[in-house]
Copies of this chain bind each other. A is one copy, B any other.
Amino acid sequence: MQHELKIYNSLSRKKEVFKPINPGKVGMYVCGPTVYGEPHLGHARAAIAFDVIFRYLKFIGYKVRYVRNITDVGHLEDDTNGLGEDKISKKARLDQVEPMEVAQYYTNLYRQALASLNVLPPSIEPVASGHIPEQIESIQKIIDQGYAYESNGSIYFDVRKYNENYKYGELSGRTLEDMLEGSRELEGQEEKKFSADFALWKKAEVEHLMQWSSPWGMGFPGWHQECTAMSIKYLGLPFDIHGGGMDLKFPHHEAEISQCVGAHGCHPANYWIHNNMVTLDGQKMAKSKGNYISFQQMITGEHPLLEQAYTPMNIRFFMLQAHYGSTLDFSNTALKSADNAMKRLTNALKPLSLLKGNGSESQDKALEEKILYLRMQCYDKMNDDFNTAEVIANLFEMSSIINTLHNSATKASILSETTVQLLIETYKGFIQDVLGIAAENEGSTDDKLDDVMKLLLDLRNQAKKDKNYALSDTIRKELTAMGISIMDNKDGTTEYQVN
């Protein structure tokens, strides 16, 4: 009997049994990137964390509608108070191009990076600038309910008014007093009744590059509004899961909750999931902090902090070795050891596919029990708030069993066919479908390399039989020099591995 799926709900601050609103179906919304810069490790972590959740929910049979947005407008420079310039159009003016051209360029980079990380595309990938009518409608509802006011052509959310009937700050645990203490005196603040009020719609100056007409004049939506409008449009209200990076809890997700409650009187989502950050010496890695490593730098190795280039799968596996809720500190050592660990797991896939049980029952009952236990553990650990780190530990134990079975004289015939099938399904399923670890360098040249290597190893074996050790040694040495190691098995066959 598997455990029920439990999710750590950031809103209730405890693990809760997951109960979908519609049986068998899950609606999940995750905040995507603001496309004004190159994708970095922070983007990769969020995308991978929710990709695994998306994959696992599908793996255990849910039909999932996964919506992840692209913010191409409305992300104000100063996130905390709704002032400042639109990030996208600022970059556009620097480059002297149309803002949507900048957005498209970085959107493409983001999609390419995620594809190479084997992150599945979401079911729907809506863009903020493509949902202006929906955002205007959503703002109008908040105004109608009395929780927003117009000021000089802009619309602000009335935090104090909202707080009279609801609780502003319930997700982040902040109080109005906390917010007041942290607020700064900035230009434009005089438009607001209260410094913690945030912009739903900003009046646009004539020279502003991205603007639309609205009942309140020409302007553009505040950053928080898009996620409210798009999540409800595509998932209904309420939906099951809302996710995003921990840095978005405040003000973004707090604002989303209050916008939704203000307009509709109910919370948008039942479960809030937040992935933790990638850190560098304990500091959050982010473009705005200047201490970040871009995805491109990671895979080329061109960054002063990088000792080598890392493959996308190496990066993915490194991230999955930690629970999504823990911080992940960047280090070359950790990445390299992740690579070795990943290869240990993926190298067992080939011998796994060669295992064959017997037609009746298992002779080694203890081993059978161990396999069934490990299989159950994989599910249990994923059901325990998607604990990929623990799943990987179980898979290591399985890989040892696989290698032992493969190298034994009896092969897997001491096990029943059913048990062997369960082992294969679980091991392959969790590595490839749930964790999303894809074999690197797949494709036709790989097959050719395999063919050519087989010929070369046959020549070497023939040379050994002919006692031409000079030749057989040369072949081994040359292969080692080009990074291919060969292992002679007891049964006379030889395997190779590209390092």
Partner-B contacts on A (CB < 8 A): 65, 97-98, 100-101, 104-105, 108, 111, 121-127, 129-133, 137, 212-213, 234, 441, 443-446, 448-449, 451-453, 455-456, 459, 471, 475, 478-479, 482-484, 498
Contact = CB atoms under 8 A, between A and B. Distances in A.
Contacts of A213: 133, 137
Contacts of A479: 452, 455
B133 A451 contact: no
A47 B33 CA distance: 28
A448 B104 contact: no
Listed from nearest, the 10 A-B pairs whose CB atoms lie closest are: A130-B130, A451-B482, A441-B445, A449-B449, A445-B445, A100-B124, A101-B123, A104-B124, A455-B478, A108-B121
A453 B455 CA distance: 11
A448 B498 contact: yes
20 contacts: A65-B97, A65-B101, A98-B123, A100-B124, A100-B126, A105-B123, A129-B130, A132-B132, A133-B213, A441-B444, A441-B445, A445-B446, A445-B498, A448-B449, A448-B483, A452-B453, A452-B479, A452-B482, A455-B478, A455-B479
Contact of A125 (B104, B122, B137, B484): B104
Contacts of A100: 124, 126, 234
Nearest to A98: B234
Contacts of A130: 127, 129-131
B133 A212 contact: yes
Given A123-B101, A459-B459, A482 B448 contact: yes
Given A441-B443, A445-B445, A498-B445, A452 B484 contact: yes
Given A98-B234, A101-B65, A452 B444 contact: no
A108 to B, nearest CB: 5
A391 B122 CA distance: 41
A445 B449 CA distance: 7
Contacts of A108: 121
A454 B65 CA distance: 51
A132 B133 contact: yes
A419 to B, nearest CB: 35
Contacts of A483: 448
Contacts of A498: 445, 448
Nearest to A441: B445
Contacts of A471: 459
